Amino acid sequence: VRRLRGLLVRLTGPLTRGRRDRELDAEIAAHLALHVEDNIRAGMSPDEARRAALIRFGALEAIKEEYRERGSLPVFDTLVRDARYAFRMMRKAPGFTVVAVAALALGISVNTTVFTAFEAIALRPLDVKDPGRLARIFRGSAADRFGAVSYADYLYYREHTSTLTDVAMLGFGMGLTASEVPAPAAAAPPRVAGVLGFHLPQLLEGSARPIGTLFVSGNYFPMLGTPPALGRLIAPTDDVAGAEPVVVLSGNFWQRHFHADAAVVGSTLHLDGIPFTIVGVTPPDYVATAQNVPDLWAPIAAKLRLGTTPAQLADPDVPAGWVYGRLGANATLRDVQADLDVLAARADRDRARAPRVPARAAGVTVTSGRTYAPPFGATEWSVTIATLVSVLLLLLIACTNVASLLLARAAVRRREIGVRLSLGASHGRLVQQLLTEAVLLALIAGAAGLALSTWMLRALIAAVSASLPEYWGTIALRTDPNLRVFAYTLGVSVLTGVAFGLAPALQACSGNLNRALKDDGGAGPGGTGRRRLLDAFVLAQVAACLLLLVSSALLLRSSAAALHADPGFETTRVLQLQTLDVSGRPGALARRAATTRHLVEDAATVPGVRVVARAMRGPLPSGAFPRAAVPGAGHVPFNRVSPDYFAALGIEIVRGRAFSRQEAGGGQRVAVISAALAARHFGGRDPLGARLALGDVSYQVVGVAADVRGLDFRRRDPAFVYLPLTQDDDASAILVRVDGDTAAARAALGMRIRRPDPDVPVLVGALDDMLGSDPRFVVSRIGGVLASLVAFFGLVMASLGVYGMVGYGVAQRTREIGIRMALGAPRRQVLRIVVGEGARPVATGLAVGLLASAAAARALSSLLFGVRPIDPVSFGGAAGVLAVTAALAIWLPARHATRVDPMIALRHE
């Protein structure tokens, strides 16, 4: 331990060196003075006394040196000296320093950005009290193990658990409308989502603005230890039936719409016409366990005032929200899992309901609630790892580029290094010195990269946030760099420095000393070793770059497949108007129906509009249709549509007919079924006129429609039932088929439509935009765009690398080329030699890259839709682009070589 202490003191030694030296001098002076006085007292003359004292003291400088060495660690001392020297070298070559730092900073910042995003999502603890003791509780279904929990189940778990001290619910949100909300203080920032190619449906001009509200149980905020920014938060007493209706504003909503006015607490806000008292404000960007910061927080019991009936709330089959629990003392997640397994089984049995899905799948899943995202599954990990690997590849390309630069510089510094070697510097010392320079470069780049990445992330999140409809809430992912991000960046930087510095450093110190001193600039053994190393760098760059290009091409082709995907219905000339879910309070449904009726009537008068149809659900987003049991065909999705629906979407009726208006108006039990269902259910029999049992009701089949694939690329099951939309049905979607451009029609529609009901928000979007905005395409498109950005940087840097390599080769061999030409070698031959030498590592790199890409494509296959992993277009295109770029990078310097004038080349030097 004492040794360690000594070591620590010595580590700080170099910093206090000057002061310590002066102190030692003073101490020695005092020592000598004391000794001289003693000697004089003993009878010596002053001169004699001084001489004796000095002799007795010993070799002054040797002792000082020993003292100095004791004072600090020699290794550390030289490190500081090396760093100082490195800084001097950097200042002497500012061009090199700037280029190297910029290339590395770019590579490091992309890495840091990806890591920070990953860290913020998967590792960073939530901003709540003791997040490590928080558990998430999911109720599984056949399709999804991580499903939401019903309110009844939540109450049951909360009452009976023995392992959790508290259980709270974050209920599903509701789009409400509010009066008394002032307009936003700042103009909406520009939307960039269009750049990424997805356009979310936006509010119709003049439509009511929905307010995003999250409903929480009364113990939710107390359990998370949320501090109010103003007033108080929702308390358990607010979350009982019949309690005074209260609401809490989010800090973001408060700042945006209320100018952060403290007087707002205590005032009244009408939500869907019901008065709520604002009791407090949460801190800005406070997201609790939600994904986005909502506009408002309200107690779950308030849903009862907003149209939800007690029976609906208590329905154990209706998922109501996300459940969190606080672990009791000594309880582990495993204990909670066991506890809730028993409770869930008992609750189901008590209610005597037959599980709709197999019991195993319907169980409860308990995971840690410490982080923003639940613990990653296989898919999340594979995406994360693929992303991290791709950005590391970019860094690798940057590294090899800087390494090539260093190699070229090593040639320049050969004489300096030779002199130092001949003066007795050990090889180890020199390698240490050169490595210090490299790591220092990387550290500077790392600092710049971290700053760049912090800025990039903030801009990215702001941009994405701004392109989401406002009532979706504010993205509040905390991405400020923390210790882990710092450590990652530092680690990556140091590794980078060693990676690009080691090979050139070792290379620089090898080779013949005499040659180095003579410095023929050239083709000695050191020269060929350097060439081999350069070739290896180019090979690695080309391979890594091809891998990036192929991956991004695959992702882009996959997202492009969405645009050309034929869902089986018309998407290019159809607008969808969607009235948002309003609460079921008395009259609301009627108002929504009235709004829909107005919209239909008005839309029909707009020039260019051909068909206006209505449906319970629009065709997009797909997969949201209700299902009902058909004997022998499982649960089949169905939709209620107006007779024009088929015409509006261009769905062909292959047999029989669509509904008539009379059938729709009269509520007759007729159905149109999809061809696939007809084939499956009726086999060879004629379906027309046959009866089809759907759930508890029997329908007469009047027509067969062509299959609509939708976006279900994986499970191709186009079985579908269309039922007539009756007067009583809640038709939320209006489909408008237009003749020309949807954008123009949309503008015309906005002009023509009468100002809709202020309480019914209406969204409008073109179907093909919505198709492209389907989450599965958005993922591959964003992935594709980001991957192509990375690949583009990779391509630029790799071509610079190739260019540098060939150019270096030509510059080194200027004399040789001159001799060849003087001896009569034709230009073509010179060109062939130079091009051949440059092309060899590129060709090998392409081959290696293709093999690596094939492996990567298989790993990516889960993200690809409509594209095979080994897609010839992606592979061929990427290889072609890279080959052409590389050819250009080779040809430019090669052409330069043929312009060498033999006379000048030979006279040079």
Partner 1 sequence: MSDRSEVWKGTLALMILKTLETLGPLHGYGVARRIEQTSGDRLNVNYGTLYPALLKLEQEGYVSSEWGVSDNNRRAKYYRLTRAGRRQVEKETRDWERTTAILAKFLAPGEGS
- The residues binding partner 1 (CB under 8 A) are 2-3, 5-6, 9-10, 23-24, 26-28, 30-31, 33-35, 37-38, 56-60, 63, 66-67, 70-71
Q: Decide if 171 contacts 217 (C-beta within 8 A).
A: yes
Alpha carbons within 13 angstroms on the beta-carbon side of residue 250 total 26
- Rounded CA separation 854/833 (Å): 32
CB of 441 to partner 1, least distance (A): 34
Q: Decide if 615 contacts 637 (C-beta within 8 A).
A: no
CB of 84 to partner 1, least distance (A): 25
Q: Which of 726, 593, 731 is nearest to 668 (CA)?
A: 726
What residues contact 386, with CB distance under 8 A and at least 6 apart?
A: 551, 856, 859, 860
Q: Decide if 581 contacts 746 (C-beta within 8 A).
A: no
Residue type, 779: V
CB of 43 to partner 1, least distance (A): 17
CB of 50 to partner 1, least distance (A): 14
What residues contact 869, with CB distance under 8 A and at least 6 apart?
A: 554, 857, 858, 860, 861
Strands 210-216 and 296-299, sheet pairing? parallel
- Rounded CA separation 235/164 (Å): 20
- HEC readout, 693-724: EECCEEEEEEEEECCCCCCCCCCCCCCCEEEE
Is the N-terminal amide bond of 355 cis, ω within 30° of 0?
Answer: no
Which residues are bridge partners to 373 per DSSP? none
- CA 378 to each of CA 249, 369, 384: distance values in angstroms, whole numbers, following the listed order: 37, 18, 10
Alpha carbons within 13 angstroms on the beta-carbon side of residue 391 total 23
Distance of CA 64 to the CA centre of its chain: 58
What helix, strand, coil percent values describe the chain, rounded to 5?
55, 15, 30
Backbone angles phi, psi at 812, to 5 degrees: -70, -30
Helix runs in 468-568, H state only = 483-509, 513-518, 525-564
Tally of CB atoms within 10 A around 106: 20
- Rounded CA separation 515/524 (Å): 7
Return the number of the residue (10 or 478) whose C-beta is nearest partner 1.
Answer: 10
Strands 364-368 and 246-249, sheet pairing? unpaired
- Rounded CA separation 249/280 (Å): 6
Q: Which two tokens stand for residue 424?
A: 């007795």
- Rounded CA separation 614/725 (Å): 8
- Rounded CA separation 312/314 (Å): 5
- Rounded CA separation 766/571 (Å): 8
DSSP string over 397-456: HHHHHHHHHHHHHHHHTHHHHHHHHHTT--HHHHHHHHHHHHHHHHHHHHHHHHHHHHHH
Q: Which two tokens stand for residue 807?
A: 């150019």
Which residues are bridge partners to 609 per DSSP? 738
CB of 54 to partner 1, least distance (A): 10
Strands 697-705 and 670-674, sheet pairing? parallel
- Rounded CA separation 246/234 (Å): 8
- CA 832 to each of CA 248, 407, 642, 819, 896: distance values in angstroms, whole numbers, following the listed order: 76, 25, 72, 16, 13
CB of 69 to partner 1, least distance (A): 8
Q: Which of 87, 75, 83 is nearest to 11 (CA)?
A: 75
- Rounded CA separation 498/403 (Å): 10
Entry field: residues in the chain: 909
